[in-house]
Amino acid sequence: MMPKPAPLYERQKARLDAFTRAGYNFDPDRLTDYTAATGWRVDDYETELPPEAPGPPEPRGSWAAACEVLSRYSFPPPGLISGIFLPDQPLSQRVMVLRAQFLGVSFWFGVRIGRVTDETRALPDGGGPEQVWGYNYRTLEGHFERGQIEFIVHKNCTTGRVWCHIHAVSQTGRIRNPFYWLGFKLFGRRLQVRFSQQSLKRLRQQVERMLREGWQAPAADGPAVQPVSAHEDAQAQLDKNRK
């Protein structure tokens, strides 16, 4: 019998170690200065998820399922982006290696979780409280982009509405290779939009599947979740360290 291959997070240990030591390629403390007027792209995307009954999030409802999908990072389209990370690392300290498919070539980038959000907020229109959970990650040195993207799942506790919101602030980073610089200039924006739109579509599909199939974890259909779901000990650590 052939031995089981090592999980991806072990095979990518050198990259994970390098990105753990890497710094950001932008200044997170200046996020409020990064606007369209100063040359940054500010994007917002949203998708509706199956509603729940009014009140706090249900233990195995739509909101909790979306939190699970976000935590596993199983929602990005694997043909564009796959994420690899250590399952025993708390989410608030997570560093990820992102494998991006671009111009027929695989590129390896690093990102780090900047903040985990888990709180009850007052809705801006005074319509009652909402429960929110999610996180942002920030680009590290060597990334083709610089900036931050945030994934947050919301529940309106008064109406039962559940939705997921993506907020991104980005700018093209320093790309030394002129071929890649030109390709990213021509196609990078299209890939950005496609990533967010397809990620929300896949998240909604995975949430609906979890609700329909009795809370089964998202399918391991790409490297994003494969290193965890293929190893029981790693899966247990991921479940333990979601927050």
Nearest to 155 by CA among 59, 60, 56, 67: 56
Distances (CA, A) of 56 to 47, 102, 173: 20, 42, 41
How many domains is the chain built from? Answer: 1
What confidence score (pLDDT) does residue 214 get?
83
pTM for the whole structure: 0.84
Question: Looking at residue 56, what DSSP letter applies?
Answer: S
Q: What is the pLDDT of residue 215?
A: 79
The label of the residue with tokens 């790409």 reads 222
**pLDDT tens readout for residues 95-105:** 999 988 877 77
**CA atoms 146, 76, 229, 154: torsion sign:** positive
pLDDT tens column, 173-185: 776 766 655 565 5
Question: H-type helices in the chain, by residue range?
Answer: 8-11, 13-21, 62-72, 178-212, 226-229, 232-240
CB-CB contact of 27 with 171 (8 Å): no
Burial class from Cβ neighbours inside 10 Å (0-12, 13-18, 19+) for residue 135 reads: buried
Whether residue 48 is contained in a domain is answered as yes
Specify if 1 maps to a domain. no
Structural domain includes residue 134 = yes
Is residue 14 in some structural domain? no
**How far is the CA of 173 from the CAs of 165, 180, 187, in angstroms?**
24, 12, 14
Reduced to 3 states (helix: H, G, I; strand: E, B; else coil), residue 76 is coil
Instruction: Kindly indicate the confidence band of residue 93, based on its pLDDT and cuts at 50, 70 and 90.
Output: very high
% of the chain with per-residue pLDDT over 70? 81
Q: Whole domain around residue 40: which residue ranges?
A: 35-232
- Mapped onto helix, strand or coil, the DSSP state of residue 128 is coil
**4 falls within a domain:** no
Six token digits for residue 60: 């195995």
Considering the domain boundaries, does residue 225 fall inside one? yes
Classified as helix, coil or strand, 29 is helix
Q: Is residue 88 part of a domain?
A: yes
Domain contains 119: yes
Scanning 12-60, the segments in alpha helix (DSSP H) are 13-21
pLDDT, tens digit (0-9, with 9 covering 90-100), for 45-78:
999 999 999 999 999 999 999 999 999 999 999 8
Q: What is the CATH number of the domain that holds 44?
A: 3.30.530.20
